[in-house]
Structure 1
């Protein structure tokens, strides 16, 4: 497992998101998918993720005198280790969440920039709901959501399937002050 600093860097997060549950990609393919990232920056961050064991090389071939590598994510390594999460300060969480949200916005902007983008027919969803749950009920809900999503990861890219990015954010809604008895 990795540290938050390693995984929650804006460029590395975008590289990982491009590779999650996708066929292995070369750096050139990643650059096509993420054209706003400079080539030197892309190579540097792929090297960092590979050295950390988060990406693995799954293929190599010679192309015009250089070695072209194909990469994929090692899902078990692409998780912030619980000890690292526990050591994060509030400021670390703020920075990490900001990176996460910026990455979501970049994905959404890239989607909307496509000429054929049609949020209604493409099933774009962004919703919020408030639920009152005990800690045990909350843990059960998160487990249900994760198992539902994980059960669908790894399906082949065929049969009319569209790759969709599913993100989950859960934030406790604690009022600034406790409500009084009349609330």
Structure 2
């Protein structure tokens, strides 16, 4: 598992999102999907993710005298280590969440950049709800949600649309610790 600093950098997060549950991609293919990221920046952040064990090289081939690598995400490594998360300060969490929220906005903007985007037809959903749960009920709900998403991650792609699912849980008014 990785640290928050490794995963929650804005550029690295976008690279990971482009690769999540996708076929392996070369750096050139990633640049096509993320054209606003400068080539040197893209290469540098891919190297950081590969060195951190979050990306793995699945193929190498020679192209015009250089080696072209195809990468994929190592899903088990693309999670912030619980021990690292426990040491994060409030400011660390604020910065991480800001990066996460900005990434969501970027996804939404990229979706709308397609002229034929139709939220009603495409099943775009954003919703917020308040639930009253004990700690045990909350843990059970999180497990159910994770199971619902993870159990569908490796579906055959035929006839299916890739959808990005994000979850944010924040206590509305955290109880005061005694």
1:171 paired residue number: 170
User: Which residue does 1:63 correspond to in 2?
Assistant: 63
Q: Which residue of 2 aligns with 1:34?
A: 34
Quote the offset at 1:115 in angstroms: 1.3
CA RMSD between the two structures: 1.3
TM-score, length basis structure 2: 0.96
Deviations 1:13-57 (A, max 9, x none): 110111111111100111111111111000000000001110000
Q: Which residue of 1 aligns with 2:86?
A: 86
Matches within 5 A, 1:92-131: 92-131=92-131
Alpha carbons of 1:155 and 1:175: their partners in 2 closer, same or farther (altered >3 Å)?
closer
| CA distance, structure 2, for counterparts of residue 116 and residue 66 of structure 1 | 38
Q: CA deviation at 1:156?
A: 2.6
* Pair 1:135 & 2:121 matched: no
Unaligned regions of 5+ residues in structure 1, if any?
Answer: 178-183
Aligned length: 176
CA shift, 1:176, in A, is: 9.6
Q: Structure 2: state its 5+ residue gaps.
A: none
Runs of 4+ more than 2 Å apart: none
Tell me the distance in 2 between the aligned counterparts of 1:156 and 1:36.
Answer: 31
Name the counterpart of 2:160.
161
Give the greater-gyration-radius structure (CA). Answer: 1
CA offsets per residue over residues 121-150 of structure 1, 9 Å max, x none? 000000000000000000000000000000
SS in 1 for 2:91: helix
Question: Counterparts of 1:14 and 1:42 in 2: how far apart (Å)?
Answer: 10
